[in-house]
Amino acid sequence: MVVVLLVNHGSRNPQFNRAMEGLAKAVEEALGVRAYPAYNEYAEPNWRDLVREINDDVVIALAFLGPGNHVQRDILGELGVEPGRWAERFGKRIYVTPPLGDSPLVAAALITRIKAALGGKAEAVLDPAEIEEESMEKVAEALGLDLGDWRDRVRARAAYASGNLELARRVEIAGDVRRAVLEWTSAGGPVVADVSMTAAGLRYGRVEVAVKAQAEARGVTRAYAGVKKLLSAFGSAGVVVGNAPTAAAAAVEECAAGRGIPFIVAAPPAFTNVHVKEEVLKCGVPAVVVKGTYGGSGVAAAIFNELARP
């Protein structure tokens, strides 16, 4: 196991420290490792204390621009290590990343923001978090949505994922589906996705694909048969559908039969079985449905990921 410490100078200003906490959370989500903010001074936790307390190997990710005194003397000097190399210290392996200043991504972000100040034509925004939040804000502004309301965030997310503002108006929410998703995923419960394309977009570690579970089926789709099979095997599982309306139909049938399904996200494009989406809303399970013919695997995955955001 490896633990990441995102180390910066530290500040008495809590707003700065909250920004560091946000960066640590982004590292956790992107890399699937434990990550914590840590500081050289003026704020807690101090990186020195954490390095000694943690039993696992440690990556100290330097959130400094250059190799100033805090980097050279306080961190590298105290640890007796070189950046970019693993070293044995305190009974564990420790790795310190180089400072950020020589990264072309840092230079590109800075140049883009300076161009905006000068009134020049800005180049593409490169930072993924900035792209995401700016896009969500533009969707919300266009549709009059409140991003402080999780329901409106789900609607904005669906529109953003599809590039279609109209799609946000087709999103219907039943029950407190966000709480249901958060409680289920926090407990590590299984999630069944209809097809591999839907599963590939889910930011969650325990996902099973219905069509893979049922390689052959007669008279029904593999997605339908696979959802039935997996729900029977697990006893209870969340369901995310982005391609096959018949997978949503299977979930509705299992729900009617008394199966414990914590939530359903149903956003498949649908023509022949478009009515199945309405049945999802009626089955009494917390759900998000993209009504009508609209939908797609990317939309379903984006909705689930938004609901699962802590």
Helix (H, G, I), strand (E, B) or coil at 11: coil
Residues 300 and 225 grouped into a single domain: yes
Q: Which domain holds residue 39?
A: 2-118
Per-residue pLDDT, 180: 97
CATH number at residue 299: 3.40.50.10230
Does 263 score more than 80 pLDDT?
yes
Domain endpoint, select from 77, 95, 118: 118
Chain centroid to CA 269: 23
Q: What is the pLDDT of residues 239-248, one digit of tens each?
A: 999 999 999 9
Domain endpoint, select from 66, 93, 118: 118
| CB-CB contact of 157 with 302 (8 Å) | yes
The structure tokens 């909705």 sit at 303
Domain count, the chain: 2
Q: What is the pLDDT of residues 170-179, one digit of tens each?
A: 999 999 999 9
| CB-CB contact of 179 with 228 (8 Å) | no
Residue 259: pLDDT band with limits 50, 70, 90: very high
Per-residue pLDDT, 107: 85
The neighbouring-strand residues paired with 34 are 3
Domain endpoint, select from 88, 118, 148: 118
Residues 235 and 273 grouped into a single domain: yes
Q: What is the pLDDT of residues 98-150, one digit of tens each?
A: 998 888 888 888 888 888 888 755 567 778 888 888 999 999 999 999 999 99
Residues 136 and 87 grouped into a single domain: no
Report pTM.
Answer: 0.61
Residues 156 and 94 grouped into a single domain: no
